Structure 1
């Protein structure tokens, strides 16, 4: 398979579709495609991969993309196996996201960064883990104790920050420049590969700055509000907070 082409969502999370050319195909129980460019996020950092469609331009035939993943530096699109023979190398296709799902993930991911920013700023707690689905997620923090009152205070602070309509900025920095930023890595363990030369950062201006490869909204106002669904102890100094984004399936027009 050929090297991955352009990963559009790395810089433009709002791109819903794109024209591409098939660079490699693997026919098997689950057909696989590599394209010269794609809007699909391949998953990582706790964010699930995108889903959607691939449509061949010449005849309009389409295939469902059930997942995307990164393999050896390539973004591989997994097709549903009941779609028949996949497109051929060189075919021009259009890729389309399941946009409602992607937008819900963008809002959720930014909400989790706001949660991390509040917890770090107000309590100095490191992140020990996290995961998300469209509209909900959880973060684990290095807390010794957690209570309902504490969680209520965190929820109120996060919602205040989201309502402040803070800009969300994406940047890609040389490794040395990125690591010169204080507190850029606030996870218990630094998960960045040792040989990576450039680091992508997500900044919620005035609140949070982290190394991150996922997709986000452009302004915290697009998240709306979150509610804490619960909290639990995962160890002596490891506490989990579970959140939900209210009205997670709102469309882009509802957010403007």
Structure 2
């Protein structure tokens, strides 16, 4: 049994019809889903699942992915196996996560190109995001320079491509994994690639926008010293109309 991950092929898909294939307590598994279960610092999607022509509706209150199955935790008695349901995500929240995730790739790609340092951690929130880098120097001059370069990348409106490659071919690409620790499980045979054409290319399982200008302006709002060679940058996004 395996859940078809519709968000992997099109991050802009916000609704789908699916069939319940398993039930465990208040969790249901579907044969296909638009709900991103969370991971890689990106928050899980929110939304609702309806069935019986919309007569029944459940809020999706938690999610997790176990092996190849995405489980949706709902807040009411679950439908039975074989029930056809409609899953609808909170689009505004998803799109904010897409913009934020792409913004972190712009930040990561820019810092890699400029300074050649790796990522040591990251996390997205509804209103901000942070990323940690194996960097010694992060003075005001460098912070201002980084902010200038990431916003130049946003305005350049680079296209973003998402595709998969066989594991062996993917890992032949230099610096595909930018984290200090390779988090890709060894059993993964196909590696999903997110490429900001002209700036960045990484193995990634999250959702993204189609071009960098959709992200809007990127403002570095906070920095922290997390160790001698570990610095944290926190960012917020501005509306694309404000560019």
Range of TM-score over shorter length: over 0.9
Q: TM-score, normalised by structure 2?
A: 0.96
Q: Does 1:53 align with 2:48?
A: yes
Paired residues of 1:58 and 1:92 also in contact (CA < 8 A) = no
Q: What's 1:210 paired with?
A: 202
Q: What's 2:38 paired with?
A: 43
The CA distance in 2 between the partners of 1:59 and 1:204, in whole Å, is 39
Aligned mate of 1:128, from 96, 120, 124: 120
The CA distance in 2 between the partners of 1:208 and 1:147, in whole Å, is 24
Query: What is the total number of aligned residue pairs between the two structures?
Result: 242
Paired residues of 2:19 and 2:32 also in contact (CA < 8 A) = yes
Q: What's 2:24 paired with?
A: 26
Matching of residues 1-256 of structure 1 within 5 Å: 3-27=1-25, 31-80=26-75, 83=76, 85-247=77-239
Paired residues of 1:130 and 1:137 also in contact (CA < 8 A) = yes
Moved more, 186-195 or 230-239: 186-195
Task: Specify every segment of 5 or more residues in structure 1 that has no aligned partner in the other structure, as ranges.
Answer: none
1:174-198 Cα deviation digits (max 9, x unpaired): 0111011111112111111122211
1:59 is displaced (CA, Å) by: 4.8
1:199 match: secondary structure: strand
Runs of 4+ aligned residues of structure 1 deviating over 3 Å after TM superposition are none
Q: TM-score, normalised by structure 1?
A: 0.91
